[in-house]
Structure 1
Amino acid sequence: MALHGKFYWNELMTDDVEKAKAFYGATLGWSFSEMPSEGGPSYYVAHLGDEPVAGLMDKTDILPPEVPPHWFPYINVDDLEARLKLLEANGGHVIRPPFEVPGIGRIAIVVDATGAAMGWMTAAEM
C-alpha cells in the first residue's frame, strides 16, 4: 500500500518525447515501454532495470503551447475526497475533479495555496 503524503509518481510533459527518451536513456540509463492510449498520444513508462520510475507524455494536445516542458508530480493521499476538502479549506483549489485510472487509482489535479499544480491520488491496491 502506498504511503499517505509521499510523492508517488512523476510525469514529464514535453513537446518532444523522442528527444526526452534519448536524453534520459543516455544520462540515467532509463529504458521505455509504450502504453498506447485510446484517442490520444502514447504514454511511455520509464524503467530503471525492471522498476517503473516515471512517465513521459506529449503535452502538445493537452496544454497550451506557452506552457513549457515540465515534470508533474503526484502525491498519494489516504482519502482523496477528504483531503480535497482540506485542500480547499486551506487556500488550494481543484483544477480537475477526481477521475479513475483503471489499475492506477483515483486522481485529482489540484493547485496548492501558492499556485503550484500537482496531482493528488489514492493509489489502487497492488
Structure 2
Amino acid sequence: MDDKYKTQGMFSWNELMTTNVEEAKEFYAELFDWQYEEAPMEGGGTYHVAVVDGVQVGGMFERPANIPEGLPAHWRSYVTVDDVDECADMAGAMGGTVLLNPTDLPGVGRFCIIQDPQGAVLNLITYPMDMGE
C-alpha cells in the first residue's frame, strides 16, 4: 500500500457491498476495465479486489446474511486515521454516532463505522505501520 494512504484524513479505500457481486464485477470491468483478484473473507464469502494496471483500487463483496434485506447495494468509503479508537471516541463526543465499534480486520488494520450529526456514514481505518513495506 502506498504510504500516502497511511496519512491522517486521507480517503484510502472504497468498497461495494452488493446483492449480486458477479453482475457488479461485469459492470465495472466493462466501465473501468477493472480486473479482479479474489481473497477469502473471514467468516465466509469472497472479497473481490478491483485492479487497474496492477494497482488495487477498491473491493466488493456480496451482502452478508446478517445485513437487513432492505439495505440496497452501496459504496463504502474509508478514511485513514492515526488511531481509530481515539477517533471513534471523538466522533461520539462531538455529536456523532459510532455504528460499529473499532474492530480488527486481520491482515488489513482496525476500523469502525461512524455517522456524523447530519446522518452521513463513514468508515475509519488505521493500517499497520509496516503494511505494504
Q: TM-score range by the shorter chain?
A: over 0.9
The two structures, once aligned, show a CA RMSD in angstroms of 1.3
Tell me the TM-score normalized by structure 1: 0.92
Report the identity percentage: 38
Cα distance between partner residues in 1 of 2:86 and 2:19: 35
**Corresponding letter in the other structure for 2:27:** F
Matched, 1:54 2:58: yes
Aligned partner (choices 1, 13, 18) of residue 14 of structure 1 = 18
Inter-CA distance 87–38: structure 2 relative to 1 (3 Å threshold): closer
**Corresponding letter in the other structure for 2:58:** A
Tell me the TM-score normalized by structure 2: 0.88
Cα distance between partner residues in 1 of 2:43 and 2:105: 15
Inter-CA distance 8–32: structure 2 relative to 1 (3 Å threshold): same
Contact 1:7 1:76 in 2 (8 A): yes
Inter-CA distance 106–63: structure 2 relative to 1 (3 Å threshold): same
Cα distance between partner residues in 2 of 1:109 and 1:84: 8
Q: Which residues of structure 2 form unaligned runs of 5+?
A: none
How many pairs are equivalent?
126
